[in-house]
């Protein structure tokens, strides 16, 4: 993976571990395209079709297999949000727990380590310690 400057010149090259490149190889799609990149908490997060790569000081510290869902970042980490499930991670991708709800999740917001999770039928608040 290449990081380029404003002029299109390569500034850095990131090497994705070989086992993460072909893990989901199929006869239809042999690529792992990048869909999103962000920097947060002095980490670079690179989201591809199948993995979230977490870089610290330009080295990959963790790669997480992506299932359907979206990622959202907050002060002390990030969540992977599915239809009825939330996985909570610290800034380096270490799991801090998960929550599963009976109804589909319609909204998640957080402020000062307090999470608000709204489902189709109820609203829940949680404090992260």
In the chain the domains, ranked by start, together with CATH numbers, are: 1-66 (no CATH), 68-129 (2.40.10.360)
Report pTM: 0.75
CB 128 within 8 Å of CB 112: no
CA distances from 116 to 15, 111, 112 (A): 37, 9, 11
Average confidence score pLDDT of the chain: 81
pLDDT tens track for 84-124: 999 999 999 999 999 999 999 999 998 887 889 999 889 99
pLDDT tens track for 20-29: 554 445 555 5
Residue 49 pLDDT greater than 90, yes or no: no
Mean pLDDT over 53-69 rounds to: 84
Q: Is 124 left (phi over 0), alpha (psi -120 to 50) or beta?
A: beta
Which of 34 and 117 is assigned the larger pLDDT?
117
**From the CB of residue 16, how many other CB atoms can be counted at a distance below 10 Å?**
16
Q: How far apart are CA 51 and CA 47, in angstroms?
A: 6
**From the CB of residue 86, how many other CB atoms can be counted at a distance below 10 Å?**
20
Mean pLDDT over 20-45 rounds to: 69
């Amino acid at each position: 993976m290449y990081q380029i400057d404003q002029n299109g010149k390569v500034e850095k090259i990131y090497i994705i571990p070989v086992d993460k490149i072909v893990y989901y190889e199929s006869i239809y799609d042999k690529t792992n395209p990048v869909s999103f990149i962000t920097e947060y908490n002095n980490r670079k997060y690179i989201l591809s079709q199948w993995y979230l790569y977490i870089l610290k000081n330009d080295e990959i510290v963790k790669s997480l297999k992506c299932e359907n869902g979206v990622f959202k970042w907050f002060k002390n980490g990030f969540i992977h949000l599915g239809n009825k499930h939330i996985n909570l991670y610290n800034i380096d991708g270490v799991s801090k727990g998960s929550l599963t709800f009976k109804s589909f999740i319609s909204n998640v917001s957080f402020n000062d380590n307090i999470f608000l999770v709204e489902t189709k039928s109820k609203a829940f608040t949680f404090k992260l310690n």
